[in-house]
């Protein structure tokens, strides 16, 4: 059993949040009310409205004034169970990525950063998405109004002061009646950030002999630089037609890392110079189109199309050399050139009645992957993947109870041309939720959802990849699409100056696709299998406290998770505490933010992984259309991201440390808008046609 080493931190988080909740729940003050102007109609609405399938948050005036882009506004709203890191550009919930949408369209973090806070009318938060979200664990949707005349301009920059790290973006939108033209550009810089890796591994051969290798770091760095340019056009005829078209180019400069170290072996060999290098570069053009047409009797049909190409190269190099020698003990090089494509189309029919709604849809997604292994003399592997998904979902409101039920069916097929190997399967996807809402301030929701995960290109590709002197990886083309199921019980509460959520989640993936290991002669081969299953149970509390109205806000999440993983020849357990606290002080144009996040550890297969635990402090000042801020990333904590493998043949532990922390940074934002406001395009359907890319495996 793997025990958490952060009990004191967890206890502190528990005491802080429970004491704050108890203190302020006893204070009697009126609920926060604000005016929401939408389509030139003033609507008086609570700060949050708990609906049957989502929570709707209305940003306060002070939060809007203290924010100069959509990401900062989302952070300042302090939505319970959601963690926003605008330094790294991530939105997560309980350690899982949150799907981000703008007016219903799937969007990127860069597109959220390009939003003007003044145009964000509300934020819809769904922690139990329905069938049409196709397996998303959580969804946040920005409802944005666009001008009918004039336009908007926004620019933002966040450079680091002590290393080559930063985020930069600009967006211009021009409006004319029902049409809007837009152009946006984003650039993320992470260039040779000093880092080092701590790595220890023990190998056990079938005859019982043991060898331990210990890596002492000498040098290293990480790269992750990317950019994008997008042109888009939208046409909106209210209650009749919505058209949206976009062309985008995504460019990835060298993404990867280099770790240099000295290796010592338990058999007495020492001073072996080890160098582990990886790099991936590529370019991907993307075309997206969306059409929504309304008909009589509250009916509509929505069609979404997405197509993308990918041309790129993945390189992996691993060498071992005795200090002072001219020849290598081990010299492994992998070079894969990808020319891949993907396209998808989805059509949905939606019919609304007074207290009910029917949604039915069908989608088709195709991936065509062509990988050339240059290190194998130019050997080519062609893989074909096809997915068909059909679903129907019915929503019904009966007094204080709302019921939703649906059923989906997914067909998945993948096939390798050269070896004539592959697999195909049909999987059912049931969904159900029941919501009881006795009053506006209390809501109880029970939900059951399911989804499928198809094997990736790397997991099925039979091309052998060498990792080091005796470790190899070979994909398994006989993998089957795995299914996942989650049961959740959630209680939302709202008292004067305190609101939040208390919940329970039970998850099961009985045939999760995981790595497996086996000796073949003198090689330790990593492959993949449909395991005997992963189950976990998580409890969480997420309060938000208005400490001083319009001045000081606090929010936090505390989670306990227990899980079990079974596979070929093993059974592992894990339990841990995780969570975080965010505090925001804002007034007179100033915004002080402090954040601490303790990431959860997750068991999958025989590997225990933990994400980024961090802290952030920043102070900003905004006036008119400008805002400037200064902050420090990881001022109180050390950066640590890593994994631990508990396999009987290979037991290892790895820590990735970033030497830049603490990292001081500056933020500059400018936004300007002109013209009247109207409702923006609301996209109801999103087809997923993400293009695949190869991955060169490493130690």
CA atoms within 13 A on the CB side of 235: 9
CA–CA distance, 538 with 666 (Å, rounded to integer): 37
Query: Which string of b and e fits 556-569 if b means at least 16 CB within 10 Å?
Result: bbbbbbebbbbbee
Mean pLDDT of 525-530: 95
Picking from 127, 159, 154, 157, the residue whose alpha carbon sits closest to that of residue 141 is 127
> Confidence class of residue 52 from pLDDT cuts 50, 70 and 90?
low
* Angle CA 391–395–396, to nearest 5: 150
pLDDT for 689 equals 53
Q: CA nearest 128: which of 450, 475, 388?
A: 450
**DSSP tag of 132:** G
Q: Which residue has the higher pLDDT, 446 or 20?
A: 446
Least confidently predicted of 87-96, 384-393, 643-652: 87-96
pLDDT at residue 699, rounded to an integer: 60
Arithmetic mean of pLDDT, 595-613? 90
Report the alpha-carbon distance of residue 159 to residue 633 in Å, rounded: 12
The whole-number pLDDT of residue 35 equals: 27
* pLDDT tens sequence across 103-149: 777 787 877 877 778 778 888 888 777 777 766 778 888 887 655 66
Please report the pLDDT score of residue 672 as a whole number.
76
On the 0-12 / 13-18 / 19+ scale of CB atoms within 10 A, 15 is: exposed
pLDDT digits (tens, 9 = 90+) for 466-523: 888 889 999 999 999 999 999 999 998 888 888 888 999 999 999 999 999 999 988 9
pLDDT band with cut points at 50, 70 and 90 for residue 162 = confident
Local confidence band at 36 (pLDDT 50, 70, 90 cut-offs): very low
Mean local confidence (pLDDT), 50-76 = 78
pLDDT 10s digits, 213-225: 999 999 999 999 9
Per-residue confidence at 6, pLDDT binned at 50, 70, 90? Answer: very low
- Which of 429, 471, 477, 423 minimizes the C-alpha distance to 450? 429
**Percent of the chain scoring above 90 in pLDDT:** 47
Quote the tokens at residue 374.
Answer: 């240059």
Single out the residue of 247, 253, 191 nearest to residue 226, CA to CA. Answer: 253
The chain-wide mean pLDDT, for the chain, equals 84
Average pLDDT of span 232-241 = 85
The CB-side HSE value for 177 (13 A sphere, CA atoms) comes to 3
Phi, psi for residue 10 in degrees, rounded to 5: -65, -45
In whole angstroms, give the CA distance from residue 343 to residue 527.
Answer: 29
Q: What's the pLDDT at 38? A: 29
How many other C-beta atoms lie within 10 A of the C-beta of residue 515? 19
Q: Are strands 677-679 and 139-147 parallel, antiparallel or unpaired?
A: antiparallel
| Measured distance CA(440)–CA(292) in Å, rounded | 33
- From residue 593, how far is each of 75, 414, 535 by CA, in Å? 9, 48, 36
pLDDT for the residue numbered 499: 86
pLDDT of residue 692: 59
Better-scored residue on pLDDT, 119 or 527: 527
| The overall pTM is greater than 0.95 | no
Least confident segment among 186-190, 392-396, 613-617, 673-677: 673-677
Please report the pLDDT score of residue 693 as a whole number: 60
All structural domains of the chain, each given as residue ranges with its CATH number in brackets, are 7-679 (2.40.170.20)
CA-closest candidate to residue 280, choices 316, 313, 233:
313
Confidence of residue 66 (pLDDT cuts 50, 70, 90): confident
**Residue 31: is its pLDDT beyond 50?**
no
pLDDT surpassing 50 at residue 24 = no
What digits encode the pLDDT tens for the residues 317-349?
Answer: 999 999 778 889 999 999 999 999 999 999 999
């Amino acid at each position: 059993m793997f025990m958490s080493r952060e009990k004191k931190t967890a206890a502190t988080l528990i005491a802080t949040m429970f004491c704050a909740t108890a203190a302020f729940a006893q204070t009697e003050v009126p609920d926060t009310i604000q005016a929401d102007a939408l389509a030139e109609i003033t609507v008086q609405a609570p700060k949050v409205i708990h609906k049957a399938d989502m929570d709707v948050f209305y940003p306060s005036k002070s939060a809007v004034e203290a924010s100069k882009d959509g990401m900062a506004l989302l952070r300042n709203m302090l939505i319970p169970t959601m963690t926003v890191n605008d330094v790294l550009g991530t939105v997560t919930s309980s350690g899982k990525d949150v799907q981000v949408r703008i007016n219903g369209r799937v969007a990127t973090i860069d597109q959220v950063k390009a939003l003007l806070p003044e145009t964000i009318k509300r934020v819809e938060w769904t922690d139990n998405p329905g069938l049409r979200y196709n397996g998303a664990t959580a969804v946040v949707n920005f409802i944005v109004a666009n001008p009918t005349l004039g336009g908007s301009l926004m620019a933002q920059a966040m450079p680091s002061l002590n290393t080559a790290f930063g985020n930069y973006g600009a967006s211009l939108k021009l409006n004319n009646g029902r049409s809007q033209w837009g152009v946006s550009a984003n650039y993320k810089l992470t260039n040779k950030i000093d880092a080092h890796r701590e790595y220890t591994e023990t190998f056990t051969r079938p005859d019982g002999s043991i060898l331990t290798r210990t890596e002492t770091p000498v040098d290293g760095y990480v790269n992750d630089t990317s950019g994008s340019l997008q042109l888009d056009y939208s046409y909106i005829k209210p209650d009749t037609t919505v058209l949206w078209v976009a062309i985008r180019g995504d460019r990835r400069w060298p993404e990867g890392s280099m770790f240099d170290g000295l290796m010592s072996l338990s058999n007495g060999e020492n001073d072996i110079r080890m160098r582990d290098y990886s790099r991936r570069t590529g370019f991907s053009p993307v075309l997206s189109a969306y059409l929504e047409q309304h008909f009589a009797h509250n009916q509509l049909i929505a069609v979404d199309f997405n197509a993308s190409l990918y041309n790129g190269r993945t390189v992996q190099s691993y060498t071992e050399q005795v200090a002072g020698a001219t020849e290598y003990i081990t010299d492994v090089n992998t070079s894969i050139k990808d020319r891949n494509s993907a396209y998808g189309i989805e059509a949905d029919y939606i019919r609304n009645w007074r207290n009910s709604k029917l949604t039915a849809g069908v989608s088709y997604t195709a991936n065509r992957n062509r990988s050339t292994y240059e290190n194998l003399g130019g050997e080519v592997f062609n893989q074909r993947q096809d997915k068909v998904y059909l679903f129907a979902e019915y929503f019904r409101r009966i007094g204080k109870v709302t019921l939703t039920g649906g059923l989906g069916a997914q067909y998945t097929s993948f096939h390798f041309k050269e070896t004539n190997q592959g697999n195909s399967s049909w999987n059912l996807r049931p969904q159900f939720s029941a919501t009881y809402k006795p009053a506006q301030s209390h809501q109880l929701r029970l939900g059951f959802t399911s989804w499928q995960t198809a094997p990736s290109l790397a997991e099925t590709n039979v091309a052998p990849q060498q990792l080091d002197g005796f470790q190899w990886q070979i994909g398994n083309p006989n993998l089957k699409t795995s299914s996942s199921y989650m049961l959740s019980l959630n209680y939302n509460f709202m008292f004067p100056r305190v609101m939040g959520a208390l919940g329970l989640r039970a998850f099961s993936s009985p045939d999760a696709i995981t790595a497996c290991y086996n000796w073949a002669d003198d090689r330790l081969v990593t492959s993949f299998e449909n395991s005997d299953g992963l189950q976990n149970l998580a409890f969480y509390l997420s309060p938000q406290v208005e400490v001083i109205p319009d001045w000081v806000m606090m929010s936090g999440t505390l989670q306990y998770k227990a899980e079990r993983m079974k596979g070929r020849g093993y059974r592992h357990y894990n339990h841990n505490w995780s969570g975080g606290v965010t505090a925001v002080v804002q007034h007179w144009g100033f915004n002080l933010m402090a954040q601490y996040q303790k990431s959860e550890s997750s068991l999958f297969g025989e590997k225990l992984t933990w994400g980024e635990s961090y802290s952030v402090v920043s102070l900003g000042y905004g006036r008119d259309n400008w805002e400037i801020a200064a902050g420090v990333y990881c001022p109180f904590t050390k950066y640590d991201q890593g994994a631990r493998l508990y396999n009987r043949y290979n037991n290892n532990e790895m820590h990735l440390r970033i030497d830049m922390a603490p990292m001081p940074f500056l933020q500059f934002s400018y936004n300007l808008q002109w013209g009247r406001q109207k409702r923006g395009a609301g996209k109801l359907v999103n087809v997923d046609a993400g293009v695949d890319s190869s991955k060169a495996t490493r130690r």
